[in-house]
Amino acid sequence: MTEPVTLTIDGREITVPAGTLVIRAAEQLGIEIPRFCDHPFLAPAGACRQCYVEIEGQAKLFTSCTTTVAPGMVVRTQVTSELVRRAQEANLEFLLLNHPLDCPVCDRGGECPLQDQALAFGPGESRYVEPKRTYEKPVPLSPRVNLDRERCVLCARCTRVCDEISGDRFIEMFARGAGQVVSIAAGEDFRSPFSGNTIQICPVGALTATPYRFVARPFDLSSTDSVCAHCAAGCNVRIDVRRGKVVRVLARDNVEVNDAWTCDKGRFAFSAPDRPERVTTPLLRGRGLEPVSFDEVLAEVAGWCRTGRVGILAGGRLLDEDAYALSKLARTVLRTNDLDHRRAFHGGRAEELAAARPMSVTYRDVERAEAILVAGLDAEQELPILHLRIRKAARRGAKVFVLHARRTRLHDVAEHVLVRPGHEAYALERVREALEAGVPEGTPEGRIAAALAAAGERAVVLAGPRLCEHPLAADVALALAERTGARFALLARRAGDPGALRAGVHPALLPGGRRVADAAERAEVEAVWGEVPTTPGRDAMGICRAAAARELDVLFLVGVDPLRDLPDAALARRALENARAKVVISLELGALEPYADAFLPAAAAAEREGHLSTWEGRPQPLRPARPPLGLARPDWQILVGLAEAMGPGLGFDSLEALRAEAAPLLAPREVPLRSTAWAAAGPPQWIAERVLFTYPLLVDEGRLSEGATELKAALEEEPFAELHPEDAEAVGVRDGGWVRLRTAAGEAVVRARVGGTVAAGAVFVPFNQPGLAANELLTGGFTVGVELQAAAEPSDAEPAAVEGVA
């Protein structure tokens, strides 16, 4: 570590680490130096020149945002130096020359750094008498970001955040001098999933968000600090509500989690709970679905459960507390292990470990890593903020490798090893062999092995959802990490996934990753819960198969729509048709309307108190930005109500009591080292010549992004199939042409994208884009053998997906 440095600012001494910027040191003393271009998460620019300070012994003034501290440095800010105060006034006069005085109609008015600092540090009056520069206003950079060039002070925060943080250099300064403007290349659209951050860090009202334009004044808003519930990245956000409606979401600074950023989905997809499709009263099927009271529905459902065999499917929306209540309800009241929150089925020790030992890898570990192996994850699309952290690590010199069937947006900072879907375990095994045998660095596996070995415990292995397709892939990755001492994490995508796994919304695992089948581990849970069923239950696809075979009577659908979410649409339909009673706990009915027998309205995340755990396993508190609409209730309360209707209850009736009970069960525990069977399993065998694989992109037809029209207009894509040039050539499909995909489950015609962006033999189709529900092509997993055929453009009348070949 470098020596700390002591300096004096405005007569006060302070000691800071070497390399600290003067402006940061002043902040620590509570001295506010005005600034526009400076941002703590961006590299110093020195562009706006507002933060002048005087340094003793130096003739010129210095910008404190670019000057690092030196021992014995004597700094005077505007507080003690008249020269500095006058220089700052002069600079503000310059900045305001061409800035329009349209504050009364500007979205930023009232929360504008330029307005605030002009008031605090400005000259008050301008000596400028000439006409101001004018521009057409505003110019849309994308459907969600608007640029008003007159208001821009050209601090370049927006272009720098795109360059330094997301690497999406869509916008840039154009022209020069007083004619300089932020702009975008002709015909381009600001298609970055992080574009909203530019709006938030704009120090004036030059960049505005389409959904927030002219919607509110800052003093109209009531703001609540909460956590984004769109994915397991766990961005800290501020939810702004105006008259009971969420109108804006902003990122909050948290260096442990999201730094200062959030993705566009988190920022713009907030209107789903306010859509007319939302159902906020309990419903029960009589002659149709009829509104009734909670008590009536719960009593009816309790009746079905007393006599019937129950299976529970859960989605990714549940808060940690809901998951715990659901896990306990299933085991102690409904007496079943047939519950599952997953869509892919990892099993194995990696999953147990993830359930038992949270925080084995943190954002900070990623940021400080020297080597990162990202296996089976498209970080930008699945955990966007983790993607930013990996980029940050790469900027700090980390070697990053991506082992994935499709090229990811880390391509400019990481070496990609494109492996056929399902062959990840095999590729990882080759890395391990390279470690053992000292394979030369010439091969990608050799380079990964060398980087991991060199970094030791400063290496991170991140196992993503694609590794859960092969039963052993995640365990191979874990074994590899253990071999080199690297930190290891199994990543979940959806916000509720980490909490659900830890709470045991899982057929074979109880809270804390304790195995149902292991008497000793089960006993630890029974000590708190009482007796639980002893044989592992069915996983999600097993529950569907059982329901389809009429082996289950009551099907609970908690925040899940099997028709859309599970990787076999046909099976999901049969399950819904054949189960006797379907109980839906959700925000809306959607496609489940014809099937639901009972509906219990749940509260949305923005209306909730509770916790969500990040992919790291870090629980973060959510606070209600407004009360639940109508009669909607938090899921855990609904589940407690059902348990009480069944008789025994769950033993808690408040979040505090729930947490107190759960705490010892969810405390991190060591998982004894057990060998896994991967060594014996051998390389995976694929029967099909070509494999279709799919995963959801960031912005798709997911329920929680409903209503975010600007976001969808900007980022949602038409369905497509990404092919390797070899495969395309073999079947005579060209880039931009149409291709027919035929699997055992069905077929579809989509536009082909041909390029070296997928592994040979692999065909990527996004999971849930408008016009194609990829699960119509799936047979229980997210990969499936596929036949390709060149096709003609489908006519408008013909739907893209034609189901029912099998």
Partner 1 sequence: MSEPTRIVTAHFDDPSVVSYEGYVRAGGYEGLRRALQLAPEEVIAEVKASGLRGRGGAGFPTGLKWSFVPQDTGKPTYVVANFDESEPGTFGNRELVEREPHQLLEGIAIAAYAIRSHLAFIYCRGEFLWPGSVLQRALAEAYEHGVLGERVLGSDYRLDVVLHRGAGAYICGEETALLSSLEGERGQPRQRPPFPAIEGLYASPTVINNVETLCFVPHILRNGAAWFAAIGPERSPGTKVFSISGKVERPGNYELPMGTPFRVLLEEHAGGVLGGRALKAWTPGGSSTPMLTAEHLDVPLDFESLQQAGSMLGTGAVMVMDETDCIVDAARRMVRFYAHESCGKCTPCREGTWWVKRIFERIEAGYGRPEDLPLLEDLAGNMLFRGFCPLLDGAVSPIRSSLRYFREELERHIAERRCPFSGRGPGLGTEPEPEPEPAAPSRPGPGRVTIPLSEVLR
Question: Which positions lie near partner 1, rule CB under 8 A?
Answer: 44-50, 52, 59-61, 66, 87, 90-91, 93-95, 97-98, 127-128, 130-131, 133-136, 139, 141, 153-154, 156, 172-181, 183-188
Residues 6+ apart with CB under 8 A from 334: 305, 310, 312, 646
Query: CB–CB of 375/445 below 8 Å?
Result: no
Give the rounded distance of the alpha carbon of 309 from its chain centre: 35
Which residue's CB is nearer to partner 1, number 150 or number 320?
Answer: 150
- CB hemisphere CA count around 214 (13 angstroms): 4
Query: CB–CB of 257/618 below 8 Å?
Result: yes
Query: CB–CB of 121/32 below 8 Å?
Result: no
Give the rounded distance of the alpha carbon of 44 from its chain centre: 28
Query: CB–CB of 166/191 below 8 Å?
Result: no
Coil/strand/helix, residue 764: strand
Of all helices (H) and strands (E), which one includes residue 302?
A: helix 294-307
d(CA 82, CA 87): 9
Beta carbon of residue 207, minimum distance to partner 1 (angstroms, whole number): 14
Sheet of 339-340: strand order equals 289-291, 283-285, 598-601, 581-586, 554-558, 310-314, 339-340
Which residue stretches of 224-337 are H helix?
264-268, 294-307, 320-328
Query: CB–CB of 806/571 below 8 Å?
Result: no
Q: What's the Cα-to-Cα distance from 29 to each of 12, 25, 511, rounded to whole Å?
A: 8, 7, 46
Coil/strand/helix, residue 487: strand
Residues 6+ apart with CB under 8 A from 437: none
d(CA 508, CA 524): 15
Structure tokens at 228: 């984004």
Beta carbon of residue 147, minimum distance to partner 1 (angstroms, whole number): 9
d(CA 4, CA 16): 5
Coil/strand/helix, residue 392: helix
Which residue's CB is nearer to partner 1, number 163 or number 787?
Answer: 163
Strands 371-375 and 459-463, bridge-based pairing: parallel
Which residue's CB is nearer to partner 1, number 99 or number 343?
Answer: 99
Largest CA distance in the chain: 88
Which residue's CB is nearer to partner 1, number 138 or number 211?
Answer: 138
Tell me which residue of 800, 699, 557, 691 sits closest to 142, measured CA to CA. Answer: 699
Residues 6+ apart with CB under 8 A from 643: 329, 332, 333, 649, 650
Beta carbon of residue 73, minimum distance to partner 1 (angstroms, whole number): 15
Of all helices (H) and strands (E), which one includes residue 117?
A: helix 113-121
Beta carbon of residue 180, minimum distance to partner 1 (angstroms, whole number): 3
Query: CB–CB of 287/305 below 8 Å?
Result: no
- 138 cis-preceded (ω within 30 degrees of 0): yes
Q: What's the Cα-to-Cα distance from 51 to each of 33, 42, 63, 690, rounded to whole Å?
A: 6, 16, 5, 60
Which residue's CB is nearer to partner 1, number 68 or number 271?
Answer: 68
Of all helices (H) and strands (E), which one includes residue 418?
A: strand 414-418
Q: By CB neighbour count within 10 A (0-12 exposed, 13-18 middle, 19+ buried), where does 618 fall?
A: middle
Q: What is the DSSP letter of 398?
A: -
Of all helices (H) and strands (E), which one includes residue 488?
A: strand 487-490
Which residue's CB is nearer to partner 1, number 160 or number 502?
Answer: 160
d(CA 36, CA 693): 46
Beta carbon of residue 91, minimum distance to partner 1 (angstroms, whole number): 6
- CB hemisphere CA count around 692 (13 angstroms): 30
Beta carbon of residue 152, minimum distance to partner 1 (angstroms, whole number): 11
Residues 6+ apart with CB under 8 A from 523: none
